Structure 1
Amino acid sequence: MQHDLSACINACYLCAEACDHCAVSCLNEPNIDMMRGCIRLDMQCAALCRLAAQFMTMESEYSRRLCQLCAEVCQACAEVCGKHQHDHCQHCAEACRRSAEACQSMAA
């Protein structure tokens, strides 16, 4: 269980980092209007991933429910980012999928 917990915490932090990078990179894209949904979800996903990791680290009794929500937001972010061909969006989508999978396992 401890290995799964550590793996999930790590996946959440890596996802948050990828989302931060994606959001900032999206701001530099020529058609920023097209990137608004991506940026919005990137910011929400990064914040939630950090919170979920923090709650898991604190061994909070709310971790499982938070991980369930985190998995949902990560999956939504992966779907939105995955629609864009930019490298930063594709990298973010992959990090979000890994985090969603790890959080789903923790929430089960």
Structure 2
Amino acid sequence: MQQTDFTDCIAACQTCFVACEHCAASCLSEGHATEMAACIKLDRDCADLCALSAALMARGSAFAPALCAICAQLCEACAAECARHDAEHCQACAIACRQCAEICRAMAG
């Protein structure tokens, strides 16, 4: 596998990583972290998996497609949770997660 085959997916994972980290940090700083716990947990899980997926694709790992299939599932779950909240950062995160899920799913085949 060559890294150039995954350019769009790596970019989507990186964008999603940033959106998820920003969403989690924003949820934590807004003073209602307890009611946003599910959102924060999914944001953190999604950010970590997107970062790992991008790294595996960048190094051309044979495991990248399988990991990206799981990443797509997690991105969908995070998008669904974030979409439930009105905060702008949650809505932006939901969009990034949906886009990443779509691209990861296509890459994974």
TM interval, short-chain normalised = over 0.9
- 1:19-72 deviations in Å (ceiling 9; x for gaps): 000000001223222100000000000000000000001111001100000000
- Which residue number corresponds to residue 90 of structure 2? 89
1:62 aligned partner: 63
Q: Aligned runs of 1:9-88 on 2, under 5 Å?
A: 9-88=10-89
CA RMSD of aligned residues (A): 1.5
Confirm or deny: 8 A CA contact 2:79 2:93 kept in the other structure.
yes
> Structure 2 vs 1, CA of residues 60 and 2 (structure 1 numbering), >3 Å: closer, same or farther?
closer
Matched residues in 2 for 1:51 and 1:27: separation? 23
Letter in structure 2 aligned against 1:25:
S
SS at match of 1:85: coil
Identity %: 48
CA distance in 2, matches of 1:29, 1:75: 24
Residues 60-87 of structure 1, C-alpha deviation per residue, up to 9 Å, x if partnerless? Answer: 1001100000000000000000100000
The TM-score, its normalising length taken from structure 2, stands at 0.94
TM-score by length of 1: 0.95
Counterparts in 2 of 1:90 and 1:13: CA distance versus 1, 3 Å: same
Change (3 A) 1:3 1:98: farther
Q: Structure 1: which 5+ runs fail to align?
A: none
Q: Post-superposition shift, 1:5?
A: 1.3
Structure 2 CA distance for aligned equivalents of residues 63 and 102 of structure 1: 13
Give unmatched runs, 5+ long, in structure 2. none
Looking at structure 2, the residues matched to 62 and 3 of structure 1 have their Cα atoms a distance apart, in angstroms, of: 16
CA distance in 1: counterparts of 2:8 and 2:92, whole angstroms = 19
